[in-house]
Amino acid sequence: MTLQFELLQGEAQSARLGRLHTPHGSVQTPAFMPVATRGMMRGIFPQQLRPMGVEMALCNSFHLYARPGVEVVQKLGGVHGMLAWDGPILTDSGGFQVFSLGALNQVHKDGVEVEHPIYGGKINWTPKLAFETQAGLAPDVAMLLDICPDKPLDQKICADAVQRTVEWARIQRDLHDQRGGASSGQAQFAIVQGGVFGDLREQCAKQLVEMEFDGYAIGGVSVGEGHEAMMKGVEHSCPYLPLQQARYLMGVGTPQDLVEGVARGIDMFDCVFPARAGRFGTALTDQGRLHLLNAKFKDDARPIDPECDCEGCLSKVPRGALRAGFKSKELLPPILVSLHNLHYIQKLMQRMRTAIADGSFAQLRMNILRSYLPARLAELERNA
């Protein structure tokens, strides 16, 4: 079976309901993919993912290439065997890692020289190598190698990133066709770049759509530019993407960004934020973030969230005990709070799907913004 996206409800720039069909099962959208960067969740058991609502996960091909290597992953059953997960998997190509590892100044015509994160030395990470790596890892969806600009407000830098992104997309599209295209069992998603500039986003999206990819991502929007600029990148991209194909906003995972992304027509998300925030003592709730390391939680006997039915909350470990455990560098507190946060985000996605279907999404959006982004809520209420 090849990948197919079924749009059930919604338009180009509104909250949408859909279903993404893959060789490893279907995914209800809007959907959030937890991140197993190196083929393994941090502190979360594989068998805990489905009960909390996870239907698709993400791994990073660059890091798996670096260690343990493609041949080892293949011997372990591909990326699905590595993760011990039989559902759909998407792999990122390493474009963001080039940005995060500070290698953007090493970009050349054919690829980028990036420092090996494990052994030192240099890796010449090219579109061809990124493609071959993901073909070997065998995810359901492979992302294209692109250029994620480190200054999304700099027009010249963003224009150069768009040009290189489109050039590399053509290379990877041709390699995909040579491998058999859709019959290979692996789908390709292209990535729209362009920073906050509408003309660059339009140019990039149109050129990628002409190549007819299986889905489209919006990249370069979670690199420190702020919520409003991030949403501008979405608004400048979605109108030029096919209505009947999946839209994926990369690297976004706070409650406010998720609800605002869905409101603008996004179907898929991923981010390390929920689990990472949990590992550092921050819990997500409908009342906002709880910073459990704060002194006010020292003798708080309540669970993380009394209204939550996740394993972390049902364990009834008190907030005060979690705080003490974080202070003592115990292993259990970051696991329990990470588990809670992933559960909260998955339930939020489920609530958004239900709200879109029954017409109450606007109210849910207001409730989330009230707790997480009150300035945006005030703006919406002024314009209502």
- β-partners of residue 189 are 143, 215
341, 344, 308, 303: which is closest to 322 by C-alpha?
A: 303
Strands, DSSP E only, in 134-203?
Answer: 141-143, 187-192
- Judged by phi (left if over 0) then psi (alpha if -120 to 50, else beta), residue 213 lies in beta
CB-facing half-sphere around the CA of 156: CA atoms within 13 A: 0
Element (H, E) at 122: strand 122-125
- β-partners of residue 58 are 35, 90
Catalytic residue among 86, 92, 300, 358: 92
Q: Which two tokens stand for residue 179?
A: 């491998």
Question: Which of helix, strand or coil describes residue 20?
Answer: strand
Catalytic residue among 146, 257, 267, 270: 270
270 has catalytic annotation: yes
Helix-strand-coil split of the chain, %, nearest 5 = 45, 15, 35
Alpha-carbon torsion (252, 257, 233, 155), positive or negative: negative
- What is the Cα–Cα distance from 93 to 127, expressed in whole angstroms? 9
Amino acid at 1: M
Four-CA torsion 76, 342, 4, 214, nearest 10 degrees: -80
- Under DSSP, the state recorded for 310 is S
Four-CA torsion 168, 209, 195, 222, nearest 10 degrees: -90
Q: Which two tokens stand for residue 237?
A: 């991209």
358 has catalytic annotation: no
- Under DSSP, the state recorded for 282 is E
Query: Rg for the chain (alpha carbons), in Å?
Result: 20
Question: Which of helix, strand or coil describes residue 10?
Answer: coil
171, 240, 185: which is closest to 214 by C-alpha?
A: 185
Q: Which residues are catalytic?
A: 92, 270
